[in-house]
């Protein structure tokens, strides 16, 4: 009822809602209202001096040339330490109901504080990270211009990073063009894949603009998911035993770019991931040709990647804490 009224209202405004009733909604282009924060956040996202080694930035593991991930089963952190879990893309992360596989960070700002100080990732104490930024007059001036304060706080750093990440959306995928009414934008084969995606129950969990990110679900609902990865999912956040192996349903936007798949990065093959899903979540064997059609549909979800002009970072000086690349 509500949505019918919404359609009526939007139609009056001349907006066609070809996708009303579909489980997936189009990604909207970023509307930048605070360009200064976004620009500063971009610098910080690319800033390797926020790591102990001076070598790792957010972009090392969420490479914007590579769909916002690192394409590795698990990440490489400080001192080449092997990370515990697959790095999700930062693209469209603003659509997630919470951040991290287990949802332990409420939003992008809360999330951004994590990796800087995480000893397995960037491994730099927050106070040192802040001193690095404070040592550079150009950063002080930019924080002052944007936050009216040049003391530079962790809250400001993470706010700027989050504001930048909010712009990392991928509109205008072929599927979105189709959703919006361009019936030539996807092939009949791809459309069959979409119908199978819905009829096989995938869309029950993978829905919304990000085709995921709206709920937590058990991995291995019907049949156990075999993995060597020790991650236990949301139980680590809630302590509730029924949250064992419950993870955030990941976005399927740009899924063709964000291999390897699953929280353990156990397969590089999207069709294999599709078949595994049907098996462990629905207890059914998906015939190969159906899995291939679904794969073809999923590949239409690759959107326009953000065009990023690399920031030019200000130079360190005598007062800048030096990197410690070869200290554990």
Position 228 contacts a copy of itself (CB under 8 A): no
Q: Which one of 47, 121, 165, 290 is the catalytic residue?
A: 121
Neighbours of 224 (CB within 10 A): 10
Residue number, 60 or 156, with CB nearest to ligand HEC = 60
Q: Which does 277 bind (CB under 5 to 8 A by kind): ligand HEC, Ca ion, a copy of itself, none?
A: ligand HEC
For ligand HEC, which is the closer residue by CB, 133 or 161?
161
Ligand-binding annotation for 62, yes or no, is yes
- Does 206 appear as a known binding residue? yes
Instruction: Pick the piece of the chain touching a copy of itself (CB under 8 A) from 49-57, 96-104, 176-184, 207-215.
Output: 49-57
> Residue 13 annotated as binding?
no
Neighbours of 170 (CB within 10 A): 25
Binding residue for ligand HEC, selected from 24, 27, 38, 56, defined by CB under 6 A: 56
Rounded to whole angstroms, the maximal C-alpha distance in the chain is 65
Q: Is 202 annotated as a binding residue?
A: yes
- Give which of 226, 225, 244, 222 is closest to 234, Cα–Cα: 244
226 is annotated as an active-site residue: no
Q: Which does 64 bind (CB under 5 to 8 A by kind): ligand HEC, a copy of itself, Ca ion, none?
A: a copy of itself
Rg value, the chain, Cα: 21
* Tokens at 258, concatenated: 């964000």
Identify the bridge partners of residue 183 per DSSP, sorted by sequence position.
none
Residues 6+ apart with CB under 8 A from 324: 52, 53, 54
In the list ligand HEC, a copy of itself, Ca ion, none, the entry touching 312 (Cβ below 5 to 8 angstroms by class) is a copy of itself
Nearest CB to Ca ion, comparing residues 88 and 208: 88
The answer to whether residue 49 forms part of the interface with a copy of itself (CB under 8 A) is: yes
- Contact set for Ca ion, span 249-278 (CB under 5 A): 258
Please report whether residue 33 would count as binding a copy of itself according to CB under 8 A: no
Q: Which residues of 92-120 are buried (b: 16+ CB within 10 A; e: fewer)?
A: bbbbbbbbbbbbbbeebbebbbebbbeee
Q: Under the criterion CB under 8 A, does residue 60 sit at the interface with a copy of itself?
A: yes
Pair 304, 171: CB distance under 8 Å: yes
- Determine whether the annotation assigns residue 61 to a binding site: yes
Between CA 76 and CA 82 the distance in angstroms is: 5
Rounded CA separation 254/300 (Å): 8
Q: Pick the closer one to a copy of itself by CB: 2 or 328.
A: 328
Question: What is the C-alpha separation between 91 and 167, in angstroms, rounded?
Answer: 9
**Element holding 247 (H helix, E strand):** strand 246-248
User: Would you give the DSSP letter of residue 47?
Assistant: -
Taking CB under 6 A as the rule, which mask of x and - marks residues 242-281 in contact with ligand HEC? Answer: -----x-xx-x--x--x--xxx---------xx--xx--x
Check the annotation: does 263 bind a ligand: no
Q: Which stretch binds Ca ion (CB under 5 A): 56-64, 86-94, 123-131, 194-202?
A: 86-94
Query: Is 264 within 8 Å of 88 (Cβ atoms)?
Result: no
Binding site partner of 55, from Ca ion, ligand HEC, a copy of itself, none, Cβ cut-off 5-8 A by kind: a copy of itself
- The one segment of 139-147, 192-200, 211-219, 253-261 that binds a copy of itself by CB under 8 A: 253-261
Q: Which residues are annotated as a binding site for heme c?
A: 58, 61-62, 78, 202, 205-206, 277
The residues assigned a catalytic role are 121
């Amino acid at each position: 009822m509500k949505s019918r009224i919404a359609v009526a209202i939007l139609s009056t405004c001349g907006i066609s809602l070809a996708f009303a009733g579909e489980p997936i909604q189009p990604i909207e282009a970023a509307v930048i209202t605070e360009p200064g924060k976004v620009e500063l956040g971009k610098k910080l996202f690319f800033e390797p001096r926020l790591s102990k080694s001076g070598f790792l930035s957010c972009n090392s593991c969420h490479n914007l040339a590579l769909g916002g991930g690192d394409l590795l089963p698990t990440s490489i952190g400080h001192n080449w330490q092997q990370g515990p879990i697959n790095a999700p893309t930062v693209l469209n992360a603003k659509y997630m109901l919470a951040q991290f596989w287990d949802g332990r960070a409420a939003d992008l700002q809360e999330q951004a504080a994590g990796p800087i100080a995480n000893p397995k990732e960037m491994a730099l104490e927050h106070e040192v990270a802040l001193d690095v930024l404070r040592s550079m007059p150009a950063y002080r001036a930019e924080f002052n211009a944007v936050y009216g304060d040049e003391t530079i706080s962790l809250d400001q750093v993470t706010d700027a990073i989050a504001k930048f990440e909010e712009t990392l959306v991928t509109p205008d995928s072929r599927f979105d063009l189709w959703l919006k009414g361009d019936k030539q934008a996807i092939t009949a084969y791809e459309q069959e894949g979409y119908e199978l995606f819905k009829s096989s129950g995938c869309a029950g969990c993978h829905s919304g603009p990000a085709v995921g990110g709206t709920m937590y679900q058990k991995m291995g609902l019907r049949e156990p998911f075999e993995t060597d990865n020790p991650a236990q999912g949301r139980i680590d956040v809630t302590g509730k035993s029924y949250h064992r192996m419950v993870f955030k349903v990941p976005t399927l936007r740009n899924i063709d770019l964000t291999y390897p798949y699953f929280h353990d990065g156990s397969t590089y093959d999207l069709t294999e991931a599709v078949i595994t899903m049907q098996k462990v979540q629905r207890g059914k064997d998906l015939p190969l040709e159906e899995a291939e059609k679904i794969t073809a549909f999923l590949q239409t979800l690759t959107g326009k990647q953000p065009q990023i002009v690399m920031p030019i970072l200000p130079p360190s000086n005598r007062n800048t804490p030096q990197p410690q690349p070869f200290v554990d």
